[in-house]
Amino acid sequence: MRKKSIILLIVLLCIALGAVCYAKRMKEIEENIHFIKEDSTREILWGESLAEKDFVELDSSVKDATVLFHYDDSIINKEQLLTVTVSCNGYKTSRGFNLTIIDTDPPIIKYTGPAKIEGDPNFRLSDYLQVYDIRPYDKVKFDLHEKDGSNKQSYYEYSCDENNQTCNFDQDAVGIHNVHIFAYDGHGNEAYKTIKITVTPPAIIEYLDIKISLEF
C-alpha cells in the first residue's frame, strides 16, 4: 500500500512539474511576442498584402511562430476590424487593429465601335463597350457587366438622348446621338463617358438590268 502511495506521489509530482514547465514556457513565449502599440487606423491599397513586421515583433526564441491575419478583403474604403493571431507551440494570442482597404480609382470605360453606322436594328452598343475596374496595387483587371437584377454592387449602364431614348440604332434613328455611359465599381467610385454615334440611312442597292448584245 505504501509503495502504491509513493508511486502515485511521484506521478503527481511529475504532472505538477510538467505543468510548471509548460506554464513557464508559455510565459516565455508570451514575453517574446510584441504587438505594435499603435491605435491609428492602418491603410493598405486594394490588393496589397499585410506585412507581419507592421503589426508584431517576434524575438529569436519564437521565430517559428505562425502569424495569421483575419479580415474581409471585400470591404473597401470602410474601416473594419483586423485580428492578428500569433501561434507558437500551443500558445495563442490575438490583438485587434483598425484597417481600411483603399481604392480611389474610378472604373475605365472604352468604346471600340464605329462613330458612324448605317441604320441597323441588330446594332448593340454593349458589344463595343469595355468597362472594367483595375485593382490599384497589382493592376489586376475586373470586368464590369451591364446592370441587371443580379449585379447591383458593380455595373455599368447607358442612356441615349431624348431623340433616341430606347438606344436603338435602326433606320428610324437617323441622326447624331449622344450616348451617356455610367459605371460604378462598388467601392464608391464612379465614371462617366459620353460618345457620339451618327446613324445614316441604310444604303439602297439598285439593280440595273444590263442588256448585252453579242454580234456574230
pLDDT at 72: 96
- The pLDDT tens digits for 51-69 are 999 999 988 888 888 999 9
Average pLDDT estimate for 158-182: 92
What is 31-102's CATH number? 2.60.40
The DSSP bridge partners found for residue 91 are 88
The DSSP bridge partners found for residue 96 are 83
Percentage of the chain exceeding pLDDT 70: 81
The three three-digit cell numbers of residue 175, written as one number: 441622326
Angle at 178 between CA 124 and CA 169, to 5 degrees: 35
pTM of the model: 0.75
Q: Where are the domains of the chain?
A: 31-102, 108-200
- Among 18-22, 92-96, 172-176, where is mean pLDDT lowest? 18-22
What is 108-200's CATH number? 2.60.40.10
Distance CA 21, CA 31 (A): 15
- The pLDDT tens digits for 138-156 are 999 999 999 987 777 899 9
pLDDT at 11: 60
Of the two residues 106 and 30, the one the predictor is more confident about is 106
User: Are 31-102 and 108-200 equal in CATH topology?
Assistant: yes
Mean pLDDT of the chain: 85
In 8-88 the beta strands, taken as DSSP E runs, fall at 33-35, 42-45, 56-58, 66-70, 79-88
